[in-house]
Amino acid sequence: MGSKRGFTLIELLVVIAIIAILAAILFPVFAKAREKARQSSCLSNTKQISIGILSYTQDYDECLPYGQMDYAAGSAYIIANIPSTTNPSAIVPYLKNTQIAKCPSLAGASYGYGWSYNHMPYRSGTTTIYTPASLGTFNYPSEVMMFADSQDGTGARAYVYCPIHQSTIDGGRGYVGERHNDGANVAFLDGHSKWLSKSVMRKTDAAGQRLWYCTN
């Protein structure tokens, strides 16, 4: 009978090293694929919310809702308060699922999207009265942002801030989310949504002026 031969220590270490190298190569690919799936789900959320907002405008003389609706009982952010049960957003009646206000890549927060500040309608009833914005006033609705991924679901992150006029906010980042492969999902005034890189979101040239509605 021939003797049985097992793995030597060197051979075993070589196999382990190969597996470790393959894991180091493949794990980031798998992680990126998972994030890409979450990005697609988030993009669907922004699309559904934008349709809800545009449906709201049809019932209110084609006027956009304010980023913060002020009532006698308190205030409600147009997106951040979508999941709220005590003081919900004005667009909740136009949505089938309130969970769409939460970005799937943002763990532990109640929402993940910020209204475009400071060129979209801001507040409905403060000491300063802000004029409602009619859809007819926008010459390029397919290029103007309504809202986008924000950094997280707390405080000022209910808005994303224009880099052209709010360059000191958050070190110039304006609370814009970058969790989707260094970019954010953006909802536009014509109802479509798409992913934009963080560099595009912070542009201050003609394209940036149009995106943030600094020019029309």
Q: What tens digit of pLDDT does each residue of 110-143 get?
A: 678 999 988 899 888 766 667 789 999 999 999 9
Q: Each residue of 55-79: pLDDT tens digit?
A: 999 999 999 999 998 887 788 999 9
- The total of other beta-carbon atoms located within 10 Å of residue 92's CB is 17
Question: DSSP string spanning 79-130?
Answer: TTTTT-SSS--TTGGG-S-GGGGS-TTSTT-S--EEEEETTS--BSSSSSPP
Specify the pLDDT at position 169.
Answer: 85
Q: Give the pLDDT score at 27.
A: 66
Gyration radius of the chain's alpha carbons: 23
Token pair of 90 as six digits = 């004005």
Place of tokens 């959320």: 45
The pTM assigned to this predicted structure is 0.82
Determine how β-strand 193-197 pairs with β-strand 183-188. antiparallel
Does residue 164 have a pLDDT over 60? Answer: yes
